[in-house]
Every structure is written in C-alpha cells, then in structure tokens.
Amino acid sequence: MATSVVPAGRSARRAAAEDEKLVFETSEGIEPVASFDEMGLKEDLLRGIYNYGFEKPSAIQQRALLPIIKGRDVIAQAQSGTGKTSMIALTVCQLVDTANR
C-alpha cells in the first residue's frame, strides 16, 4: 500500500497533472529535493518513512524540509493534505538527539 498526499476526491493521475501546473515562490538557492534518500535523513527515519508507505516527498516537503533542518527560517503555505504537518514531524525527528537524555 503506497501512501500519497493527494486530497480526497482527486485521483493520483489527476493530482500529478495538476501538480505540473503549480507555481512555486521560493527564496534564492532553494531547490526541490526529489527523494527522501537525497535529503540526508537518519537511516532509522528513512526506514520509518518507507515502512509507513511514503514513496516520495510532496512538493512542499521537497522545498521546505532541508531548509528547516539547516536552521533557516521558513514560511510554508500549501493546501490541506499536502504534507505540511508530516514535514514538521520529520524535521523534529531528524533534529532530536536520541543519544542525549
């Protein structure tokens, strides 16, 4: 079972076609990262992401996850169901030092 971030009532094919029409405004130097593997996330976190069924980051995750991890101030705006909350959870899990109690 693959998990995608497609709002209810939209097919994955239709969502992909609509995503190609989207316009993004980003700060200079922000490039989308097409896969979770390319983000340099912790191995345990990656394993959890893929075990949960996620295949690739959503558009908002592709653009905002790494800048947040790097400590940049980020304002991210996107429609409901696009992965904003999971993006924040992923960054918290990446930044938490589990060796330090």
Domain ranges of the chain: 31-95
> What integer pLDDT is reported at residue 7 of this predicted model?
46
> What integer pLDDT is reported at residue 6 of this predicted model?
44
The residues near 53 (Cβ < 8 Å, ≥ 6 apart) are 1, 2, 3
Residue-wise pLDDT tens for the chain (101 aa)? 344 444 445 555 555 555 667 666 666 777 889 999 999 999 999 999 999 999 999 999 999 999 999 999 988 888 899 999 999 999 999 999 888 87
- Is pTM beyond 0.75? Reply is no
